[in-house]
Amino acid sequence: MHHKYYISAGDQFHQDAYPDVIDELENIHRNTFRMSASFKSDIVISFLKDHRLEMHWIEKNPKLVKLLTSRSLGTSHMESLFDSCRADASFLSSFEACIKRQLQ
């Protein structure tokens, strides 16, 4: 299911405003916290934002890649938010920073 988020110029990502996104992020964290930390946030961000993965990420963290690409984790809200904020570098940066913090 595709969700539409409306991002205005100058908006920043605030966790409280996107509870469904945070629920998905917490689910990813719960399901991956014992996996290798190698490129974890890079893999999650790149896959959910662009559906792209670099070969060396796949080699360094195959379990995470397999989990994400299997689509067994619900990520529709995160993917929709990435789609909605592509044109707003500030929002995108703050959203990615949140993902990185959560997955450390």
Q: Which residue has the higher pLDDT, 3 or 88?
A: 88
Over residues 7-65, the pLDDT tens digits come to 988 889 999 999 999 999 999 999 999 998 999 999 999 999 999 999 999 999 999 99
Phi, psi of 87, deg, nearest 5:
-85, -5
Instruction: Give the pLDDT of residue 95.
Output: 98
What pTM value is reported for the model?
0.92
For the chain, give every domain's residue range. 38-103
Instruction: Give the pLDDT of residue 2.
Output: 67
Cα→Cα distances 49→44, 66, 79, 85, Å: 8, 17, 6, 10
